Amino acid sequence: MSSELQTALAELQLNDYISLVLATTVVYDYCLVIPKEVTYIWKRPWTWVSTLYLLIRYVGCLSALTAAFNGSTLIPGPVKVRHSSPISCQLLNRSLQTPHDIRLVSVFKQPSPNLNQVQILQGYIIYVLSSWADTIFWMSADLAMILRVYAMYKQSKIILGVLLVVYITQVVIFAIGTGIADNPELPTVSIFQLLDVTVCNIMISTPMWTIAAVSMQCILNSLLCTLVVVKFVRDSLRMYQATRTWQMNKYIGLLTRDGFFYFLATLFNSIINLFLDTEGSLVQGLGILLPALFANVLLYTLTPRFVINVRELYALDSQGRLGGDIDTGFGLTSQGGHGVGTLATIGTIAFADGNATGGLEDGEEIALAEKSGGKQVLIGGSDVEEVPVCEQRPPSLISSL
């Protein structure tokens, strides 16, 4: 047995192990989330963000499973391989003496007796399904993260407009790129036999679309992460100025944590995809498969939980612990009272209410709070006024959520 053949068989076996790990991890995690999904999604009033959640969760699951078994011998039919460089493919074909590179359009219009047309069609359909499922997952996840930032900035139209411009540009690039890559005129299909294993290789020669899509995705998620971190830092500083303690609104903390993890996951996944989709990549074998496994598991398990996390926190707050000073952005609003004072509290945390104090902003006087006989003392410049402890009224509910 030639060394090329041994290497190819070893890579197929490795793909099988990777497929089992990815599929098992994703399915197991999805089973763990089902009770919370029933509680916080299905039993709550339906919003269009609930629809986004279903796309993220179930289209993401479909994308994860097709990605897991892409290149595996664990399912019937030929092994579907997408990420083979022309150099490695030529070596493999030459060693097996079965060069069958053809244009996919020829498969449909001019069937060749040397190729199994059903196997080629099956491999192509699975590839197209995987590609579009992955695209829908990304678009839904990014839109959900945009809504979170929109809610954090109290429904700022400017923030939403900037994010949507970048997002729509990304959607167009993703759609065009996926459409061109999946066009029957463009892919090259190779069919070859590895002992008792039939390999169907689909090579895509559109790296510019991959680079463009990944670049736009990195720009959007970098912008989202920057806005989240800026909001977190600003609110932390204002809280410290008001209370002399480093405490944070729990919603801001949760959204910041989730947003930062999402940024890291998407950045890592984008880097991996560049290696996978770039022809002639120097990173092969375990060097790329294990990071790809980690990136997929991270994305497909964490992203659906982001919606659940916010709704779960809201449910806990509604049981007696007051909510924060923002719209959650997921069809739920913290239902604080209509206090008459100028301070809001969450547990032991006091928040300056800008509306009640004439719109205090950065650079203006920040109200300092001190507990005194069950009341809050508002100190603003030379004026001292006692006001009852109150809850801050959150921004109005986003009607479309």
CATH classification at residue 313: 1.20.1070
Band of residue 156 on the pLDDT scale cut at 50, 70, 90: confident
363 shares its domain with 309:
no
Give pLDDT, residue 166. Answer: 92
Band of residue 71 on the pLDDT scale cut at 50, 70, 90: low
Mean pLDDT of 104-132: 54
The pLDDT tens digits for 18-68 are: 778 878 888 888 888 899 899 888 988 888 888 999 999 998 888 888 777
Structurally, how many domains does the chain consist of? Answer: 2
Q: Quick check: 280 pLDDT over 70?
A: no
248 shares its domain with 382:
no
Distant-in-sequence, close-in-space partners of 282: CB < 8 Å, separation ≥ 6: none
Bigger pLDDT: 236 vs 105: 236
Lowest pLDDT segment from 137-141, 311-315, 325-329, 367-371: 367-371
295 shares its domain with 181:
yes
The pLDDT tens digits for 355-391 are: 333 333 333 333 333 333 333 333 333 333 333 333 3
Q: Is residue 399 assigned to a domain?
A: no
245 shares its domain with 352:
no
Mean pLDDT of 306-316: 83
Q: Is residue 330 assigned to a domain?
A: no
Q: Quick check: 107 pLDDT over 70?
A: no
Q: Is residue 173 assigned to a domain?
A: yes
Q: Quick check: 347 pLDDT over 80?
A: no
Mean pLDDT comparison of 33-42, 71-80, 186-195, 289-298, highest-scoring range: 33-42
Q: What average pLDDT does the structure give for the chain? A: 65
157 shares its domain with 233:
yes
Judge whether 75 and 323 are in contact, CB under 8 Å: no
300 shares its domain with 362:
no
Q: Is residue 32 assigned to a domain?
A: yes
Percent of the chain with pLDDT over 70: 48
Lowest pLDDT segment from 160-169, 257-266, 322-331: 322-331
Give pLDDT, residue 143. Answer: 92
Band of residue 146 on the pLDDT scale cut at 50, 70, 90: very high
Q: Is residue 394 assigned to a domain?
A: no
296 shares its domain with 350:
no
Give pLDDT, residue 128. Answer: 73
Q: Which domain holds residue 358?
A: 343-387
Lowest pLDDT segment from 99-103, 180-184, 247-251: 99-103
275 shares its domain with 154:
yes
Q: Is residue 335 assigned to a domain?
A: no
C-alpha atoms less than 13 angstroms from C-alpha of 275 in its C-beta half-sphere: 17
Give pLDDT, residue 303. Answer: 87
Q: Is residue 91 assigned to a domain?
A: yes
